[in-house]
Amino acid sequence: MKKIFALLVTALMVLSLVGCTSEPTPEATGTPEAGGAAKEFNVGVSIYKFDDNFMTLYRQEIEAYFSELNTEEVKYNVTVQDAKNDMAEQSAQIDAFIAQEVDVMIINLVQSTSAALAIEKCESSGIPCIFINREPSEEDMKLNVGNIAYVGADARQSGKMQGEIIADLDNKGDLNGDGVLSYVMVVGDPENVDAQYRTEFSISQYIETSGLEVEKLDEQRGDWDIVRGQEIVAAALAQHGDSIEVVFCNNDGMALGALQAITAAGRVVGEDIYLVGVDALDEVVDLIETGEFTGTVLNDHIAQSHTAVDAAISAINGEALETYYWVDYVKVVKD
């Protein structure tokens, strides 16, 4: 009898444990699936434009990581939209996400200067919002503390690394040995802090590390785009010819365009000109290995997208968000 009682008690304990573990992990607002135990959560993602090399890798990884995190108990329905580089379009997407009562939003702003408007929408709807890649101003980030976050990398670091890559070359990039580095700068989008900081810090860090002077031969806006990179550098080469020692590009996309122009002009990277970018696209990493590209800086889309998704899930679980989540850049040069 004693034995049967003990067995019954054990069976009851096991049952109650099973009861506990079958509870869905997130506590918050999801809707249980009809007849099933899974809770569903809706995530609205708006990307500044789909036609961007780096942000394509980033958004694909957001989707891949969310689907990895789907379990029998929790399902994340992720909608990713293309804002087509149009702030009005993005605003409408945010309004639609709010109307659909998504559980969290991940926003890659078209214009960082329009952050306040987006933050106001997060605040009035009570929907947490994770900004990625395009950093709102510090002032804006104080607007809805706990309900908003920025996930990104400190672009000053990437600029400094670009400057160091050139300063660390045996000749410090000064091909003609005149003590002055003559360069062309291809800028992303001047409204974007990534572009501002990379443009500024690549040069200031170069001067600090090398001890040499610099001469800017040209600086043009290329909007992160390969075709613009090619056009800008082709024009600069036509105008300044052999005086150009280094082409600094705010990203690898534009640098790949620059490389086409450099090759078309009969110049050879690593021999009579140097070229640096940022992002570490696979194609560029391969070119660095074969010596056809001087260096780049890894803009870690895997770590950034996972951090953004993890933050989104904590917000879904009702946790207060930290204001900033930072991911480090990493220098990439030939082994």
Q: Smaller CB distance to ligand GAL: residue 52 or 154?
A: 52
What does the block give as tokens for 208?
């600090």
- Could you say whether residue 162 binds ligand GAL (CB under 6 A)? no
Quick one: 138 exposed, middle or buried, by C-beta within 10 A (0-12, 13-18, 19+)?
Answer: exposed
- Could you say whether residue 103 binds ligand GAL (CB under 6 A)? no
Q: Which is nearest to 284 in space by CA: 265, 306, 269, 271?
A: 269
Cα separation, 196 vs 250, in Å, equals: 9
What does the block give as tokens for 245?
């020692």
Shortest distance (Å) from residue 83 CB to ligand GAL = 12
Sign of CA pseudo-dihedral 253, 254, 258, 264 = positive
- Could you say whether residue 221 binds ligand GAL (CB under 6 A)? no
Per-residue binding string, ligand GAL, 54-73, x by CB under 6 A, is xx------------------
- Could you say whether residue 159 binds ligand GAL (CB under 6 A)? no
Of 4-12, 49-57, 202-210, 240-248, the segment contacting ligand GAL by CB under 6 A is 49-57
Contact of 193 with 273, CB cutoff 8 Å: no
- Could you say whether residue 224 binds ligand GAL (CB under 6 A)? yes
Q: Which is nearest to 128 in space by CA: 136, 118, 137?
A: 118
Q: Smaller CB distance to ligand GAL: residue 164 or 194?
A: 194
- Could you say whether residue 300 binds ligand GAL (CB under 6 A)? no
Q: Smaller CB distance to ligand GAL: residue 41 or 150?
A: 150
Q: Smaller CB distance to ligand GAL: residue 166 or 278?
A: 278
- Could you say whether residue 251 binds ligand GAL (CB under 6 A)? yes
Sign of CA pseudo-dihedral 191, 163, 265, 252 = negative
